[in-house]
Amino acid sequence: MDIDKLVKINILFDFYGELLTEKQKEVISLYYNEDYSLSEISENLNISRQAVYDNLKRSEKILISYEEKLKLVEKFEKKNKQIEEIYTGLVEIEKQIVSKQCSEYVPKIKNLKEICRELLK
């Protein structure tokens, strides 16, 4: 399986999985999270292998469609990148302040860095 597709579908599933039907969630989870084969899923759910395949492809398309419309993953990744840029800037400023003996700003910068770390979790 293509690792990029695996990661992409897992991320989309994290964001939009609750919008799928129970059967779609189960098939996606078994295939992408539990690494079951189509045949194993078929046996577990008592449906044909073709039905599993169709359900999987339909669910993937639905997840991709949600992202194309809502762009939650894109916004999340953009926000995290911006927070990382802020954090990097704060580290650089902190180094400048420490070297210039302006220590009264260090606690404020440490607090802002901690907020960035929390937001990135």
Structure token digits, residue 91? 């580290």
- pTM over cut 0.85: no
> Is there a single domain that holds both residue 63 and residue 16?
yes
Q: What is the DSSP letter of 43?
A: H
Q: What is the CA radius of gyration of the chain?
A: 22
> Is there a single domain that holds both residue 29 and residue 55?
yes
User: According to DSSP H, which parts of the chain are helical?
Assistant: 3-16, 22-28, 38-45, 49-70, 72-99, 106-120
Proportion of the chain above pLDDT 90, given as a percent: 60
> Is there a single domain that holds both residue 66 and residue 89?
no
> Is there a single domain that holds both residue 29 and residue 84?
no
pLDDT, tens digit, 9 for 90 and up, residues 69-100: 999 999 999 999 988 888 888 888 888 777 77
Vertex 95, ends 104 and 113: CA angle to 5°?
75
52: burial class by Cβ within 10 Å (0-12, 13-18, 19+)? buried
> Is there a single domain that holds both residue 56 and residue 23?
yes
The residue range of the domain holding 62 is: 3-70
**What is the domain count for the chain?**
2
